[in-house]
Chains A and B, each alone.
Chain A
Amino acid sequence: MPTFRRSVWLLAGATGCWLLLLLGTLSQGRTVLGLPADWPRWLLLLAQGGFAASVFLYARLQPNPLVGHGFLVVLRRLFWRGLVLTGLLVGVQTFVQLTAAHALPLPGDSTATVGYTISLALFIILLAQTLYVWRSLVSFRGSSRLQREWTAFELLLGVALLFQLFVWNAPDFVRVAVITGLGLFGVYLSGHQRWVAYLSQGQKLQAILLQLGVLGFLLLFLFYLRGAQTNPVLLAPPTQQAFLVLTSFFAVFYAVAGLAVTLFNLPIADVYEQRRAEILSLQQLSQIIQRGQTAAEIYQALFTSAVQTIHADTAWLCVQSQRADVASPQPAPMPVLTHELASADLAALQTQVPALLAGKQDEIVDNDLLRSQRLTGLSQPFGSVAVLPLHSATHHYGVLVLLKKEQAGFDPEDLSILHTFTTQTVLSLENLQLAQEARISQSAQDELRIAALVQERLIPKHLPTDNWFEISTYAQAAKEVGGDFYDFLHLPGQRLAVLIGDVSGKGVTAAFHTAQMKGIFHALMQPNPLAKKDRDRYPDPQRFMMKANEALTHCLERSSFITAAFYLIDYEAGGFSFARAGHCHTLYYHSIKEEVSYFRSEGLGLGILRDGSYGRHVKNQFWDYNPGDVMVVYTDGILEARNAEGDEYGEERLAQMLSESFYQSAEEINRHIRHDVQEFSKGLPLHDDQTLLVIKFKAAQPQS
C-alpha cells in the first residue's frame, strides 16, 4: 500500500525534523549531548519547514473525512482533536510555568524551549487537521474547477513555506503583495459553504457550537504563539511566518464564514426541512405503489403524507365508491380517513363540500374562511380550507379536505406539493386497477383455455364408419371456444343420424349452447320402447326440431337463436329424411344427373318462436340417393368467409368447388374445399367459426 508507506515516511520525517528543530533550538548558546553549539539558522528553519510540510502532507494523504460520515461527525471529530491538542498545550505551558516559578528563568531556559517547540508542533498539527477538514467541506459538491483552485491554493501555501528559507531578502512589497493575494484567495475559497444547506435546524445549532469550539482553540494557540514570539526567555528561531499566518488566517476565516452562513441559515432551516419532509413523503408514497398494495393503503399514505407535510389542523379524505367497471369479488370497505375531525363537523363537510366543488375539476382554496363563510356550522373557527379532488381523465376517486385554524394557511407551495401528492395517488390507483384488470383477464384467459378443452372433448372423435358411406369433417373456431357444433349417431338397422348447427353469437355463451344441443341430440335419439313399428323408435327430423325448439325455449336468451340441420340417413331404404331449421342450404352432388345443386327448403331457426307454433315452420324432406352422390353440410362461417376486399366466399364458389372434386374421396373433397376457403381469405383472421362435413354415399353392400 503506497499511501500507507508514504504516510509512514511522512510521520518519520516529521518526527526527525521535530527532533532536529528541538536539538537546534536547545543548541543556541550551549552544547547539547556533545554536539556543537549554535547551529546555523537555516538548518533550524529547514527543520521547522520540513516538520510543517510533513505534517500537512500527512493530513493531505488521509482519506476524505466526509466519505461515509455526516458533517456533524467530521466536525465533532475535529473538535475533539482540537480539544486534546489545546489540553496538551495548556498542560505543557502549566508545567513550564510551574518549573519556572522557582527561579527567574534565564534566556535559553531549556524547559521553556522544549515547551515552546512542543507547542509549536501541536499548533501545526491542529492547523493541518483543520485545513483538511475545511478542504472536504469546501469541495463538497464542488466542481472540478474548484478542485483545481484548491490545489493551486495548496501550492501557493507551499511556496509561502519557502519564503523564510530562501527569499528573506525579498523586498517587503513583494511579500505583502503575495500574502495579500493568498489571503484573498483564502477568502474566496471560504465562500464555499454548500454543506450548511444540508443540515437540519438542530444540526445547524450543533454545527455552530462545534465551529465556535474549533475557532476558540485556534485563537488560543495564536494568542500563545504571539506571546512566545516576544518572550525574551526564548532563543528560538523565527517561525515560518508567512505560511503559518496564511494558513491560520484561512482556517479562522473559513470557520467564521461557516458560522455566519450557518447562523443566517437558521431562520430558513425549516423551509429546507419542509422540502425534505415533502420529498420523504413522496418517496413513501411511491414505495407503497411499488409494493402493489391495496387502494386503502394508498389512500392512507396520501392522507398521512398530506396532513403531516402541510401541518393541517383537521383533515378528511372522502373516498368515492369503487369503480364499477372493475369486477371485484369482495370490494374492500373503504375506511373513512379523518384527522382531528369531530363527527358533527364530518356531517357538515359531507353536505357542504360537494356543493363547494359543484362539478369543478380543480382544487379550491379559501384562505379567508372566516369572512367568506363558505363552510359553516363547524365546531371550531377555521381560517383556511383546501379542497382537492382526486380524479383521472375518466374517473373520480374522492376528495381531500384540509383545514387550518389560521388564515392564509395554504400558500402556492403547499398547493403545488399537495397537487403532486394527489397526482401521484391517482396514478398509483390507476396502476393498481390496471394490475387488477390484468390479473382478472389472466384468470379469464385460463378459464377460456379450459372451456376450449372441454369443447374439444365434445367434438366426436370417432367418426362412424361403414362401407356404404364416407365421412370427412373439418372444424375451426374463430376464438378459443366456438358456436358451431356437429354430431353423429349410428342407429340400429343401417341408419345414421347427423346433426350440424350454429349458435348465434360467439364466445363462451355460444359454446355453452353447443354443449346443450349435443345433450338434446343424444337425449332425443334414445329409442322409444313404446313404438310399435321399428321406424317410429326414433323421432323424424321435423319432430326432432320441434322437441329441440321446446327444450331450448326455457334456457336460450331471447335474442339468441340456433340454426341446425338434421339428417336421418337410411341405407336399407336408400334415402334420407332431413329438416332444416334456418341453417345453410345443403349442397348436393347428384351422380345420375351429374349436377351440383342446393336443397332449397323452408325452415325456421330454433329459439325464434317459443309459443308452440314452431311446428308449422319446419318440414320433413325426403331424398333418395344414389351411390356416388355427395352431400356437403357446413356452417355460415364458410359462406361468409371474406377476402381482403371484403367480398364473401358465397354459395356459387362453394358449388364450383364440389363440381371440381365430386369424384374424389370424402376426405379429398373436404380438403379441396377448405384449401380454397383458406386461400380466399388468406392472411386474414378467422371472421367466424367454420365447420365443413362431407358425406359420400357408396355402392358397397352393407355387412349383414
Chain B
Amino acid sequence: MKVTAQPADTTLTLLLDGELDASSAVVLDTELNKPELLNYKRVLIDCQKLSYISSAGLGVFISHLQRLQDSNVKLVFYNMQEKVFNVFEILGLDSLMTIVPTEQEAQAA
C-alpha cells in the first residue's frame, strides 16, 4: 500500500495504491493526522488503484470524519472500484461520505 500526497492550492489529493488493511492503515492514519491537513478546503482521495479495503482501513476514515467536518474540510472519494464501493455501501458510509465517480466532480464538490 502506497499513499502519495499531491498538495495543490486549497486541495490536497491523496493517491491510494494497493490494499488498505490493518498494517497499511497506519500509514494512511499518519497522513490524515498531519495538522496542516486542516488548512485545506478539501481532501480528495483517489481510489483508482485501491484494490481492497478492510474494516481497519474504513476505521481510519471514520475516525477522521468528525475532525474534518468540524474544521470544514470536505472529504471526497472518487474513482472508486465497484468492489470497494460495495464495502462503503454495505456499512452505510455512502450516506455519510461524499463518493463521486470522477475527479472533475470531486473538484466541484
* A30–B73 alpha-carbon span in the complex (Å): 139
Nearest Cβ distance between residue A514 and chain B, in whole angstroms? 14
* A506–B96 alpha-carbon span in the complex (Å): 25
B27 close to A (CB within 8 Å): no
B108 close to A (CB within 8 Å): no
Residues on A with C-beta less than 8 A from B56 are: 504-505, 559
- Tell me if A604 and B63 are in contact (CB < 8 A): no
* A82–B108 alpha-carbon span in the complex (Å): 115
B91 close to A (CB within 8 Å): yes
* A584–B90 alpha-carbon span in the complex (Å): 6
Number of B residues with CB within 8 Å of any CB on chain A? 18
* A444–B43 alpha-carbon span in the complex (Å): 41
- Listed residue (A504, A505, A609, A611) with the most chain B CB atoms within 10 angstroms of its CB: A504
Task: Give the contacting residue for B91; candidates A505, A506, A560, A605; CB below 8 A.
Answer: A605
- By beta carbon, the residue of chain B nearest A585 is B90
A276 close to B (CB within 8 Å): no
- Tell me if B95 and A560 are in contact (CB < 8 A): no
Nearest Cβ distance between residue B69 and chain A, in whole angstroms? 10
In A591-641, which residues have CB < 8 Å from any B CB?
602-605, 608-611, 617, 636
A522 close to B (CB within 8 Å): no
A49 close to B (CB within 8 Å): no
B93 close to A (CB within 8 Å): yes
* A611–B56 alpha-carbon span in the complex (Å): 22
- Tell me if A617 and B59 are in contact (CB < 8 A): no
* A583–B65 alpha-carbon span in the complex (Å): 20
- Tell me if A559 and B59 are in contact (CB < 8 A): yes
A558 close to B (CB within 8 Å): yes
- By beta carbon, the residue of chain B nearest A613 is B96
In B35-79, which residues have CB < 8 Å from any A CB?
55-56, 58-60, 62-63, 65-66
A581 close to B (CB within 8 Å): yes
- Tell me if B55 and A505 are in contact (CB < 8 A): yes
Q: Chain B interface mostly helix, strand, loop or mixed?
A: helix
Residues on A with C-beta less than 8 A from B93 are: 582, 604-605, 608
Proximity string of chain A (542-572) to chain B, C-beta cutoff 8 Å, 1 when within and 0 when not: 0000000000000000111101000000000
Our count of residue pairs bridging A and B at CB distance below 8 angstroms stands at: 59
- Tell me if A617 and B92 are in contact (CB < 8 A): yes
How many interface residues does chain A have, given as a range?
20 to 34
* A617–B95 alpha-carbon span in the complex (Å): 8
- Tell me if B95 and A608 are in contact (CB < 8 A): no
- Tell me if B22 and A505 are in contact (CB < 8 A): yes
Nearest Cβ distance between residue B13 and chain A, in whole angstroms? 23
In A498-544, which residues have CB < 8 Å from any B CB?
502, 504-506
- Tell me if B63 and A582 are in contact (CB < 8 A): no
* A90–B35 alpha-carbon span in the complex (Å): 106
Residues on A with C-beta less than 8 A from B95 are: 602, 604, 617
CB contact under 8 A between A608 and B55, given known A561-B62, A582-B90, A585-B90? no
CB contact under 8 A between A604 and B92, given known A505-B22, A559-B63? yes
Nearest Cβ distance between residue B79 and chain A, in whole angstroms? 21
- Listed residue (A559, A583, A602, A604) with the most chain B CB atoms within 10 angstroms of its CB: A559
- Tell me if B96 and A617 are in contact (CB < 8 A): yes
- By beta carbon, the residue of chain B nearest A581 is B92
Given A603-B92, A617-B92, 13 other A-B residues pairs in contact with their CB atoms under 8 A: A505-B22, A505-B55, A558-B63, A559-B59, A561-B62, A561-B91, A581-B92, A585-B90, A604-B91, A604-B92, A608-B91, A608-B93, A609-B96
Residues of A at under 8 Å CB distance from B?
502, 504-506, 558-561, 563, 581-585, 602-605, 608-611, 617, 636
Instruction: Give 23 pairs: A residue, B residue, CB < 8 Å, sorted on A.
Output: A502-B55, A504-B55, A504-B59, A558-B63, A559-B29, A559-B56, A559-B59, A559-B62, A560-B59, A561-B62, A561-B91, A581-B92, A582-B93, A584-B90, A602-B92, A603-B92, A604-B92, A604-B93, A604-B96, A608-B65, A608-B93, A617-B92, A617-B95
The 4 closest A-B pairs by CB, nearest first: A604-B92, A504-B55, A559-B59, A582-B91
